[in-house]
Amino acid sequence: MIEIVPMRLRHIPEVARLEETCFSSPWSEATLRDGLGNPQWVFYVALRTSPESPGKEQVAGYGGMLCAAGDCYIANIAVFPESRRQGAATALLLRLIDKARELGGAFVSLEVRESNVGAMALYEKLGFRRAGLRKNYYEKPRENALIYTLWF
């Protein structure tokens, strides 16, 4: 079972491990701690509980978003490979979208590698539309980013 909850300090080591698993330029524990302490940032974790181990939670994924002056930008969405295709990314995105609306955002936007077809399909399913291109945005490997935006 997946539950979406606000990220806490105790989640940071697992989230940092997730960053290293999923991204070529991962955020450090210090960066995550700094973001968690900044009121303009919103972080959620997807926790997986097992029927065999009730009460024992494991971070399955996380999402982080920056909101300022009515603009909300999803910086990261990541799910551990063994937890993918179980609804964690969708649940995280829906929670971030709800939070952006709650904070009075006019839209929520994000960047995605142009080769990440699976993520783009998810974003489009949730109502995001392609809004632009950032040439050579990503490194390791160098790749363009597509900008996707959901207007409220």
Residue with tokens 């409220």: 152
Per annotation, catalytic residue among 14, 62, 73, 111:
111
Q: Is 82 a catalytic residue?
A: no
Q: Is the dihedral of CA 67, 73, 78, 79 positive or negative?
A: positive
- Fill in the amino acid letter for 151: W
**Total Cβ atoms within 10 A of residue 120:** 17
DSSP string of 77-107? EEE-GGGTTSSHHHHHHHHHHHHHHHTT-SE
Whether 137 sits among the annotated catalytic residues: the reply is no
Closest CA to 49 of 8, 88, 85: 88
Distance, CA of 132 to CA of 152 (rounded, Å): 18
Q: Are 20 and 32 in contact (CB under 8 A)?
A: no
Q: Pick the catalytic residue: 123, 138, 139, 148? A: 123
- Please identify every residue annotated as catalytic: 111, 123
